[in-house]
Every structure is written in structure tokens, then in C-alpha cells.
Structure 1
């Protein structure tokens, strides 16, 4: 099984770093007025230099220097570029059911930062607020003559594409996060994301979003993690970035981070008639998709998707392109930050950690269906707690302790973990009841990999108390003198992190919106709908910039992850079919809604006959973008709607034209 070393990030990161041409005289002046130590008295920057600095690096970074930080902010030109070639990539994916590597040919992003050992996994991009990021897409896939179907909601044009920066708060128009563009084969196009200085730091991701081919391309592995790193420390006037708390341990060493990008690459091998090769049980039920020696697995048709397809395929959820990886370099008693990204198409991942019994047999040659029994026999320790600090890249006001971290397609979850003692630990995808899972069928427990934990400094007793003490010590080192005690006291009060929340709570609204997902199954093919209509690119929901509205999201048939572009939302309540609010305590057999009240997200699973009530602000950006179900083959077949954000007309309405 592959080993992921400590400190290594798979996929490799492409880090944007540069130094701007700010005059040396300005830098010298800043150094001259900066305090000699963190405890030195604050000194005011001369107004002229303060204004020059604001012009050079932007207001937030300038205020950091002006407020008396000993470390000057990184001064950068806010201009960076990455080129991604979209190509067919030949590689292998390990298949535990056969104990051998399957050859695959997949569409992928290739660029600086691509890991040559796992070439179908896209680079991880790391940027900071205030940067302008230019990503050049070079579509080198083969041309597809006459790829336009008679119905826009029939999957089509699998070699055409575009790019979506999932979760970023940037413009949806022009060459920014514009998912209404089409980039045909042989065409190159440069996306430009002007990330504002006040953008939240957090974990985001990028993937294709061309209607009709999104699921096929994302399932092929065309997805990458996008991290925005923040250096803004909280002040008495403004909240800061959680990154500043989680920068160094009390001993001064940098905090260990790991990126876990979950993917479900649903490749198939086909017979001479073009049918998927399968294995069936005695009753004729499909129990696995088969690839014989010499076959090449591909993703070329939407017959590879559907409610039961993942279970039938007997494929395995990969982490950073690897099946059943081993995470090495973890030390007992060492807090780590794990950034989990669900970059799959349609199956729920319920992340758990459990101590593995000593001398457990290997699990690298088992069918996916057999892993539940293996976990029952060998993953026998108590479930390890995870403390979620952020969801969908947005920091919580209070860390959420979880023993099951339910990740639906499109979700991100930043968690802190502490392995209390040396040994091997199971990384598990826990069982999920049908109504809490994307496919609306029960999901059995799976093993995703294992963690090797060295001796370190074992933690006895209460891990929560240990975590709190560690974080308070880190705050003592990293926070400003006028914020240290406030942050430490909040951490000591049930791990509150209110000084790092990026958005203020929405108290009042001035409008309302309703969204209902539905699948009409009385005709073939079924209709995938939003508010009774399948996707029509000529129709849009008109919203007015500056308004603050309450949305109610429901699902008439099956469960669907709701996702909206540009502006995130705050959860108000989640009502079960009986009208009970489950957004605080969750439900007995399903923890996914617990502690969600008041949190900020951009993607949220809507169970059948449940009601999600949320609030959102329409800030800064106008233009046309979309909301949709993040079961991406549902989106490709019509479960999407355009949004047209317009300027107010000054009389309570909006202006949709130029007059």
C-alpha cells in the first residue's frame, strides 16, 4: 500500500510566492518604526507612509503593519499564474479486489505541481487574500464534431470544459469564476480570479463545471484542492484568520497539516459489445465491475453513474489518488490539522479514526464489500474525536467535536486530530443509513487507509483538555498582546473561536427565496428539476445586490447536496418531516446535522421531505451564476438553475438592462 509521508501534500502544491517592487525606502521606513518585540509599545506609522503602504499592499495587509506587528506582512504583486493542460492521462489505480493495478486512461489536469507518480491528480493551489490568480486552461483533448445534443439536459460534449473555483467569493462574470463559458478542444483560455483582501482564509477546491460533462470529468479525477492561507491576526476591532492560531506549536515548530482529497474514480472496462464488464452473484446481481489483464479502464459514458452504480462497481474511494494509503510520520500527542475535501461525485464519506488491534492482518486484498467485516474484527479501539474548526472553508465560532464526520460531495472539513498513543489506526468510511446518503441506499462501512503513529508523547486521560491546553499555549505565542487573553479565555470556554469567524451573523432579512429539488420518475429518462423545471440556460432567478434574504431548501424525492456559487449562507434551522429542528443536536442515527445552527457553508445536504432554512447576503458581485445539486450527474441532467444578480434600481427593485 502507498505511504504518504508527513509534511508531504499529495497532490503537490503549487505555491504562489513573489516579492513586489515596493520601494526600498518604504521598507526601511517600516522597519524603522516597527516595535522591537511583540511586547514593545505600539508606535504610529506616519500618515504619509501609511497611505503609501495601503496603496502598495492593500488596506488589510497595511493595517497589520500599521498596528505594530513585529513581522511585516509579505509584500507581493498580487499576480500569479498557473497553466493547466487538460489531457488524457494513462496511469494505474490499485484494485484490492484483485491485488493488482488496473490500467486507466482518464481526463486530467496536468501542470506545475503534478505528482508524476499519480499524474491524474491535479495540483493543490495555495494563495493568499488579495492575490490575483491567473489559471490558463489548455484544452488538449480530441475534438468532438457535432457534440450538441437535441436536449441540453442530455449529457454531452465530454471533451469540452470550463473551470469553477468552488467556494471562492469572487466575480462570476467575464474570465473570473464564469461557469457559463465553454472551452472546446484545442482552445486555450485564461481564468483570472481577483481574490479580495477581505476573502476568508480556508479550504476550497476547483473542478470543471460545463453543463453536460461535469460528472464525467470530475469522476475522472479533474479536481484539485485550493487553499487560501491567511496571516491576519485578530484585533479588538476585527476578526482574524484561524491560520494565525494554528501556525506553530508551543515548541516553535510549524503545525503539521495534511490535505485529504477524497475522490471516487468510477472507471469501467468494456467488452467487445461496449458493455461494462461485470461479475454477478448466483442470483444474477452485479457485485463488481471487472477489468481483466490488458484492459484499460475509462470513464466515457453516463451509464457508469446512477443510484446503485458505486456499490455495484466495487470501486474504492481514493485519497489523493491512492487507494488504501498509509499516513506516516504522525507522532502521538501531536496536534495535526487535516483538510478533508470531498471531490467525488455521488457517494457519502463518513470519516472516522479508530485504533487498530495489534497484529491485524492486511486489508489490501479485499473486496470493498468485505471491508466491513474486516473493520469489525480489527478496528476495535474507541472512535477518535475530531474537532472541526471550519466547514466549506469558513471558520466556526466554536469548534465542533465529532466522532463521525459526514462529508457529502462538495463538502470541505478542517479538523484537528490528536492520536493519543503509538500504533496503527484505521481510517474508516463509516456505515450510513439510506436517508443520510447521497445514493439514497444504505452504505456499508469501508476502510480507507491507515495511520502509523510513532511514540511521541502519549496523551493520557481527557484528549479535549489536552487539546485546549495546547491551543491556549499556541495562542500565547501567536496572538497580539492585546488579544492573547481574550483568545485563550475563549478557547478555555468550550473551544470557542469567535475571533476568527469571517462573517457576522445575519439577524434581519428583507426577502425570501424557495428552492425545491425533485426527480420525476414517471417518464424515461427521468426529469431532474429545480422548482418544477429542468435546467434552461435562457431562464434565471433574479436577485438584487445588497439584499439579505432567507432561503428555504427542500427535496421532494431523494436527498441532494444543495450548492450555490459566490455567496455562502448561514444555517438558521433544519426541520425534519415532523417539524423538529435538528440543527443543534442532530438525529439519533445520523449526526450530520448536529451543531450546524449558525454555521456558514456553501454546500449542504437536503434530505427528502426535510426543510433547510438559511440566510445569505448578496455582496459585491453582480452577474450570472448557478445553484444546483452537487450529485453532479443530477446537475448535468437538469437539476440546476441560473441566478442573475443585478444592481438595485433605488426604488426597491432591480435593473436588468442598461436603461
Structure 2
């Protein structure tokens, strides 16, 4: 993966060619996104922020690798460790506002690390590691003290300058200084997190973000989030599945396939008047006048139903609003790692060719820009071929015309553009039932992709993918598994030799769990009828395999559980129809989910979502919650206590001495 910066690429012109460039001028010339071969895990410890510097590759000479590590601010380390220093502080910077065609000044909480680009500070460094390695993140809370931050209720957002850290999706211990979200790091406190990835940890796309109850949404919405990539080099064998990374390699060489990371964020900053009210224009959209400073400081009017749409803000990609993606080549297959690190909006990713003769929509925003997109982003929809979700490889590649990403989701897709030209990267329209906003969403432009020539011969994307993956398998797979890998690819692009977990049959299930989300009429956010209470927990027993039924009584909510992922069994709509294969006519997000592995899954109101999970290896206390993070902060969370079996059918707490 290579994401570079080039100020020469972004100019504010009033010509047709400047369509995409005009969008990017606001970002201080920082939005260029280029792809390069992915690196071998052993060659890389910590990558700079996605828009700052390219990652190392396995082909780099040692002296080149050391130079790049030094320039990125990382220290030479043992080859089995990844190390990152993070300092949390208030950062003043600029964010482009399409409504006014100028940069807004903002002051937001952010992660700072050696090498952080001051022009794009609201996106954290990308950490790259491998199975069997240790990730160490030295976190220092440099925010100002809050001596009187406590609230009368635990589930009233509070203590916005206190924090902790969560490694979302990692299969590691939830205790001690590992993925322990029960810790509180007050201002002035430093703490080193240590994530010991087991040797059999899945390779995939994960991420990290704050997770202190009461301040999570405010801090994540400020841009405090970063990607955490686990790269794998394990080839499949007759007795063990391998890492998908070993297959996603160039057809003509043994080099990794080109890839790029797209991290979506929703930074809901606002400027206030002398009375403390959010400034708005005549249409009700939030505005910041010259000289104002935008901040995120209040849950009551900056989060909640309808606030993101009312704000008029735009989803950013890798810290930039309306970027231009370059380095794309017609007919060249790429791996895109999509990561929804936002709080308050569903991203329905769609790629469409742009009318080549259209003029640049300089000065357009809001409804006017939506209308422009509807009129000019009219080319055929490009398919995205999903190979993994939430960092977990699928048993079969899933073709998607729209890729619905809820907060917390990750999606690894193979993408190929058929011809040179410009393409619209769109957040497509979505019905109310499919969105975390619980309101119908209009389409929004996320950015423009510039695809270079020459024209590639006409091809069918599935056939191209099959051709390249079979060529890679012929070159890279061991002889004892090569026939199986090739046969599965030719049988509908199946990836059975690379799935990280065994299917969970009904015969393995030895317990059941039920869970429902609800928001009461008096605005209580609940799991199973209770708002979050840290002394209450759902007891589970290590070694069991259980089937869960998830539902929601009011609104749709992305269910997320820490530590152990789950496999989707069925998704029943209110009429009792299982839509986990076919999906729904007006909402594609449930299509082809049956048997896939996830760690976050949207639960629509009135639906019954059935999943299964094995409780393996790790004991201790962690949480499950709604990943609309202000819902979590207001109480839609529950502790999970994983117990040691007592030999009598029950469990014993890790803290018990009897």
C-alpha cells in the first residue's frame, strides 16, 4: 500500500479536467492517493499516516528500510514487535468545507505521533504487524485536566479528556495491559498497551480507537482512529488453511497485489455563537465564519438523530474531504481496504464512471452537489469483489454493486476500472431502515478517482479476477494444495483454503444467548432492558460454542462484541423470511452474509439475527455494545465476563480463589 502526497496534483481550476482537482484544493494539496505493492509483514513495523509516506516493501534494501522507518518516526525494533508512540492533545488545523469553498479552522482532540502530518492530523498512524508478533502502543494523555468532569449518571456522556484504547477486532486478551477497555487514563497519565497476537491470529484489516465509556463518540468523531493491519505469510497446507495475502499477488510475479487503504470518518465539528448555540445558515446547515474555531464538545446538539445530516458535513477519506484518488491504471486489479471509522452515518460505497464532458461544479455543495452527482455520475456501476469482512476472509468472493459499511465495519475488496477516465466515488442513497441515522440518506460524493490509460482490452471483471488469482495460485501455492486452490477458484471464486475459522455446525452448539437493543420513550439506551452498569455482566464459559439471537425493538444498531468473532447463521425479516442470502430489494446489505465471519453486524428493527460463536483461549471481562458510539456512551453497552469452566457445567471467575 502506498499513499503519497503531491501538491502539484491538486489545483483549483475552472475547467472540466479540474472537476476532481477543484474538490481537492481545499485539503492543502494533501489528497493524492496512490497504490503500490503491499509489503511483507517482516519488513515493516509501523507505517506513517496513510497520507504521509509510503509503507516499506519486502524488496526494500536494508538501508532504504531504515531510512524510511527513521523518516516515519519509528525506532529500529526487534523483528517480532511493532511499536508506536501516541500522544493525545488538542490540535488546531484546517478542514475543507464544500458549502463555503474554504477551509474551516478546527481545534480537536487528536493522536500525535512522530512524523504526523500537521496538515492532516485527524487520522492516526497505520500500524502493520503479523501473526505471532507483539504490538506495543505507548499512549500518553496530554489533554488538560478535568477536575469536575463526573456526571450524575454514568450514562450521561462525561470526562471528555479521559481516554483509553481498543484494538477493534483483534483476537487478544481483554485483560491487564492488553485490549482492556475497563481502564481509564486521565489527563497526564501514560500507559503502554501490549497486544500479543497469537501465531494463529487471522491476517486482515483491523483498527484502533478510544473506548472509554462516556467519551468514546466525541473522541472518535474528532478523528482519533487508525488502521491496524495484520499481514500473513502462511501458505495453506493439507492440514491448515493459509493467509489470503499469499494468494493476492501479481499474476506475473511473486510481488503482493497493489492495494490502498480508505478510512472513512465523520468529523462533526461545530462553531458556536455568543449564546453557545451552533451557528447555522438560512437552511439550517452548520456554518463557521472566518475567525471561528470549530470544536466537538457537546453530545446534546452534535450527536443524535438527524444531527449528521443537519450539519452539512462530509465524510472524509484518510482525513481529507472530497479527495482525488490517483495512481489508478485501467485494467489493473487492486485490493482496497475499506474501514468505516465514523460514528454517525452509513457509508454505501459505489463506484460509477463520470460524464467526460461535464464541467467542474465549483461552489456546489449540499443539495446542489447531490443533484450534480445524480446528473453526471451516471456511468455503469462498477462491481466490488469482497474477499474479507471485518478482517476475516470469506469462503467465497462476494460481488457487490453497493458496499454497505456501518460504523465499525471493514471490507476488503478487489477493484478494477475498465477504461481510463474519471470515476465518482459515491456514498449512495439508502433507505431509513438500512441506515444508522434511521432516516433516508441522499447520495453524497466522497471523491473522484482518476484512472490512467492506455485503454485496456475489453474484459469481464470476474474473468479477470479468476485469471489473475489462478495465475497467482499456479506460481505461489504449494504443490500439495495447488489442485484444491485452483479447483475452488474455478468453482465460483471460492476461497476455502484461506478462511481463518472452521464453520460452526448446529451439532457443535451447546448453549444459547439472546440479546435485544432498545431506546425507551424517556431516552434510555439499553441492552436487554438495562442501561450500562459496570457491575453487571453476561456470564459466558470458556470452551463453549453458543448460538445468539439478536434483535432491536427501536431503531437499527450495529452489534459489536470484543475478542471472539461470530459466524452469521440467518437473518430473519419481520415476516420470518431469511434474507441472509438474497438480501432485500431496497437494501443489499444482508445479501450473501450467511456463513460469513464478522465482529460487527447491523441489527435492523424487528429483525432476528442469528449468529454462532466459539469462546476460545481468553478469559476476563470485556464488552458488547452498539457501534453507534454515542449510543454506547449513553448506555447501550453490556459487560461480558468469560469464566473458567468449573467442571460441573458452570464457570468460575478469574478473580475467584475457591
Confirm or deny a common fold (TM above 0.5).
yes
For 2:228 and 2:597, how far apart are their aligned partners in 1? 18
Deviation, 1:280, is 3.1
Judge conservation of contact 2:516–2:528 (CA < 8 Å) in 1. yes
Q: How does 1:59-458 map to 2 (within 5 A)?
A: 77-281=79-283, 286=284, 288-302=285-299, 303-363=301-361, 365-456=363-454, 458=456
Per the alignment, residue 39 of structure 2 pairs with none
Q: CA offsets, 1:305-334, max 9 Å, x none?
A: 011001000000000000111100100110
Query: Structure 2 CA distance, aligned partners of 1:482 and 1:557?
Result: 52
Q: Quick check: 1:4 aligned with 2:32?
A: yes
Superposition deviation, residue 116 in structure 1: 3.3
| Residues 457/497 of structure 1: CA separation in 2 closer, same or farther (3 Å cut) | farther
Extract structure 1 runs of 4+ deviating beyond 6 A: 13-18
Residue 406 (structure 1) shift: 0.1
C-alpha separation in 2, matches of 1:92 and 1:631: 26
Q: In structure 2, do the counterparts of structure 1 residues 237 and 13 end up closer, same or farther at CA, with 3 Å as the change threshold?
A: farther
Q: 1:567 to 1:252 in 2, by over 3 A?
A: closer
Q: Distance in 2 between matches of 1:80 and 1:630?
A: 27
Determine the C-alpha separation between the residues in 1 that align with 2:266 and 2:54: 23
> 1:340 offset after TM fit, Å?
0.3
Cα shift at 1:456: 4.2
CA–CA separation in structure 2 for the residues paired with 1:518 and 1:336: 41
Partner of 2:5: none
Question: How far apart are residue 364 of structure 1 and its match?
Answer: 5.6
Q: Take 1:497 and 1:116, find their aligned partners in 2: how far apart are those partners? A: 41
Give 1:179 shift: 0.4
Alignment check: 8 A CA contact 2:146 2:161 kept: yes
Is the 8 Å Cα contact of residues 13 and 125 (structure 1) preserved in structure 2?
no
Cα pair 1:10 1:115 within 8 Å, conserved: no
**Alpha-carbon distance, 1:226 to partner:** 0.6
Matches for 1:541-560 after TM superposition, within 5 Å: 541-560=538-557
Distance verdict in 2 for CA 1:102–1:275, change over 3 Å: same
**2: distance between equivalents of 1:474 and 1:300?**
51
TM-score w.r.t. structure 2 length? Answer: 0.88
- Distance in 1 (CA, whole Å) between partners of 2:84 and 2:642 is 29
Q: Does structure 1 conserve the Cα–Cα contact (< 8 Å) formed by 2:82 and 2:128? A: no
Structure 2 gaps of 5+ residues are 1-23, 37-48, 59-76
CA distance in 2, matches of 1:111, 1:320: 16
2:579 to 582, 586, 590: 582
- How much does 1:147 deviate? 1.1
In structure 1, runs of 5+ residues without a counterpart are 19-74
2:109 counterpart SS class: strand
Structure 1 pair 605–364 and aligned structure 2 pair: CA distance change class (3 A) = farther
Equivalent pairs, count: 595
CA distance in 2, matches of 1:405, 1:460: 24
Q: Distance in 1 between matches of 2:273 and 2:258?
A: 46
Q: Distance in 2 between matches of 1:364 and 1:170?
A: 48
1:117: how far off? 2.7
Q: Deviations over 1:235-284 (max 9, x none)?
A: 11110000011133424554211000000000000001111001233xxx
Q: Is the contact made by 1:324 and 1:364 (CA closer than 8 Å) also made in structure 2?
A: no
TM-score for both structures, normalised by structure 1: 0.88
- Measure the CA separation in 1 of the matches of 2:578 and 2:118: 48
Q: Distance in 2 between matches of 1:82 and 1:650?
A: 42
1:371 aligns to what SS in structure 2? Answer: helix
Shift of 1:121: 1.3
User: Contact (CA 8 Å) 2:429, 2:440: kept in 1 or not?
Assistant: yes
